[in-house]
Structure 1
Amino acid sequence: MIYTIGQLSKKTQCKIPTIRYYEEIGLLDKAMRSAGNQRQYTSSQCQRLHFIRHSRALGFSLDEIKQLIHLQDCKRHDPHQAHQVAQHHLTDVRRRIEQLKALEVELLTMIDNCEGEDTEDCLVLKSLNDVPEKN
């Protein structure tokens, strides 16, 4: 099946400028062109775009997705390389979760301790004014 960029956009829920960008950076193969110079995409390009969108939804970076695409296309890769990319990403996700948990605790502390009736007593505003000094 052949898709126009608009059809591909609707089918994959990916915005047209994003599709063009993915082509530009090499994540998605360049589209064929019709006689009227309109982009035309194949079913395999549609499938690739679904792969990219799903990878992005899981939080993989564009560089990680490039690696995964290369591993998918390359017949002579170590099967554990994709596993290593995913494991590295999971480690990064867990680190970010810990950072978000610490942020949650700090925000809860600020909110729970803010009982002032005026701006001068507001712990939220005081806490935000306390900028840690860098060494």
Structure 2
Amino acid sequence: MAAESSIWFGVAITARDASVSLGAASNIQDNSRITLDSGEHLKIGERVTIGHNVQLNACVIGNTCIIGMGSTIGKGTIVQNGGVVAAGAVTAPNTVVTEGMIWSGNPAKQSRPLSEENTKLFSVGVDVYKQYSKNYKKNP
């Protein structure tokens, strides 16, 4: 867990003999589940938001990504920098979510490019969770 990152209430991590890396200023929100088998890896980059109730398997998530609430990230998925998986979407194993694109559906498919407004709002969301974490550490 890097500086300013946070893991919130009810998150369950099952990672026997596996590795989990959470980049700076990233957050994993309430009730998400991480399930890794022995020898597998989960790498989450910097300034990433993992929404509530997300199911994560062994995958790589680049920097400044959003993984929407209730989505499932299949084993071997790569979310490139700035990629977004929409709420409720399911990525098939080994999917590559392309940089700067929103993917949605089941199975998830490229939906549309991320707008500048989306990018700004998502960045604000990361900063909000950084502040939540600081506030909670001061006043548990």
The TM-score with structure 2 as length reference comes to 0.28
Rg larger in structure = 1
- Larger strand fraction of residues: 2
The TM-score with structure 1 as length reference comes to 0.29
- Larger helix fraction of residues: 1
